Chain A
């Protein structure tokens, strides 16, 4: 039995510095999870992924992963790994968490 589709976001790493990037509703890439588009439809998610797979010259390893809207309507990751990716390491104030 096929698994039911759960809402997904599209994320990757930036080619030039490896930073985590997210696909926005307008199809741009953003460095902030708060800008990410969440796909409710499997077909749209897959279409965005195959499009991203063509963008060799600016990103690495795009993939779809579970996401949801928090109570206040901002996108958030469902898994802790994605939560860490959206912030940076926990031992130093490096990565996204320090950049405005």
Chain B
């Protein structure tokens, strides 16, 4: 866990102090909304449909029990007793009052947290693999790099007014759990032929209005070269990115329009120029950061009690099979706590749940927690022997849903229940899908399935990279849902293909049922996932299941 140094602390406190003054001026009428809006956005404060919304950064999705308890306290004291975890590894509060926001920000600063750079045309909160530091397949923990990037990008004078927002994601494992190919820059840890660690740099990915899969701009970058090289990319983008049209302002458009080769050489030129005088982080700083991410003192005593417990308790077995991933230490497991109860709102946690999770992290989890972009909470380091007790405690607060990676583990953005930009709701759709498929008791039979729902073309719900993607639109004054098929958010990233005309809300669930039934019929055994079937067979049988009418008419 990175702990603020004096500089970070001072900077954050100073920003809160400034914002407190700005809020006072807004309330007494001496600042107009036009003047105040950019200031509040710089501090993560949005206006949504029914209220303000405060977006709090959880850098690279890592937090400890003290921070989680503070998030719970904020939810109780200044909001409605819950928070919403997002696909950007942030937490959003949906009901803060304007006058309370400076107090909330101070409460965050008390635990080294803030809401800076969660909005605006700057480098946003850096996101990372939520299994960082724990996963069995990991080359190296990406978080020291993520923290370095956080320090480099925070308040970077040159990059406060980019053509558009800028998102960086980092992964330390060959299995990409951080969606690096859908970010402005994706950083993947790799090693070269000599076995030296370095980075693969991906550029120009992104979802939204014009979805693009990121392209590799540098196959191998030595570790020490990361900051000057990214600085070069940002410089090229800052100068050449389009400012005339906000829909064309992301780096993905620049890469697309100019071509990868041209951008690559422009970056190399900038890099050669920057390199000599670039102030690289000192060895002391790098060492200081690294020390915060030292692996915990693992307790390697294996026990057979765990296996025995599992044999006795089928519900626990099911939980372990779906929600526990392989840890690099065989005596340990990674527990994903699902924030997708049947019929619930994806990503929401009550203050009570946050406290229980914090207690579990403290008691059993080396005091570490992660928030995943899939809107779940992770206990990254848990002794297998402790999993039965953890399961029991989770069950008591409704957090033991055994559905990670299954059809009800849905990503859904807030949609038109909260978001001012939405064209339709997403939450009720997620609720209906999870309720329906749980009634059908088909969830485990269906196996791995990623449904992702966005309430508008901005794609915060990552619908383009869902195995099934759902996009809510306004079709002549009625909510309408467009389905895409075959998307993939991992290292084999693919954008889903639009299946056909959209569905009205009440037609959507029956259509999905037809789709799933078709898959169950045509798959080659239960081992073949939906995505594999789709790749093997192409879209035709799936589209036919969605649109039986068209099929009949054509016959």
Chain A residues proximal to chain B, CB less than 8 Å = 13, 15-20, 56-57, 60-61, 78-81, 84-85, 88-92, 94-96
Contact = CB atoms under 8 A, between A and B. Distances in A.
25 contacts: A13-B47, A15-B98, A16-B27, A16-B97, A17-B52, A18-B48, A18-B50, A18-B51, A18-B97, A56-B29, A56-B33, A60-B47, A61-B47, A79-B477, A81-B49, A81-B474, A84-B417, A84-B425, A85-B50, A88-B50, A89-B417, A89-B418, A89-B427, A95-B50, A95-B51
Given A15-B26, A90-B417, A80 B47 contact: no
A16 B100 CA distance: 10
B28 A57 contact: yes
B95 A90 contact: no
B428 interface: yes
A49 to B, nearest CB: 15
Contact of B47 (A18, A88, A89): A18
Contact of A91 (B31, B345, B478): B345
Interface in B30-89: 31-33, 47-52, 80
B125 interface: no
Contact of B427 (A56, A91, A95): A91
5 cross-chain pairs, A with B, having the tightest CB-CB distances, nearest first: A57-B29, A89-B417, A18-B51, A18-B52, A56-B32
**Interface on chain A toward B: helix, strand, loop, or mixed SS?**
loop
Given A18-B51, A91-B431, A80 B477 contact: yes
B479 interface: yes
B416 interface: yes
A84 B49 contact: yes
Contacts of B395: none
Contact of A90 (B26, B52, B94, B425): B425
Contacts of B26: 15
A80 B28 CA distance: 34
Select the residue from A57, A81, A84, A91 with max chain B CB neighbours within 10 A.
A91
Contacts of A89: 50, 94, 417-418, 427
A60 B94 CA distance: 17
Interface string B415-433: 0111000100101100100
Interface of B: 26-29, 31-33, 47-52, 80, 94-95, 97-99, 345, 416-418, 422, 425, 427-428, 431, 474, 477-479
Given A61-B47, A91-B431, 8 more contacts: A15-B33, A18-B98, A61-B33, A84-B425, A85-B50, A91-B427, A92-B80, A94-B94
Contacts of A16: 27, 97-99
Nearest to A81: B416
Nearest to A86: B50
A82 to B, nearest CB: 10
Nearest to B26: A15
A81 B52 CA distance: 17
Contacts of B52: 17-18
A90 to B, nearest CB: 5
A90 B15 CA distance: 35
B33 A84 contact: no
A61 B52 CA distance: 13
Contacts of A57: 28-29
A60 B50 CA distance: 12
Given A80-B478, A89-B418, A91-B345, A20 B431 contact: no
A60 B417 contact: no
A99 to B, nearest CB: 11
A84 to B, nearest CB: 6
A59 to B, nearest CB: 8
A76 to B, nearest CB: 13
B428 A17 contact: no
Contacts of A60: 33, 47
Contacts of A94: 50, 80, 94-95
Nearest to B430: A91
Nearest to B344: A91
B474 to A, nearest CB: 8
Contacts of B345: 91-92
A47 B29 CA distance: 22
A90 B416 CA distance: 9
Contacts of B478: 80
A14 to B, nearest CB: 9
A13 B431 CA distance: 28
Contacts of B28: 57
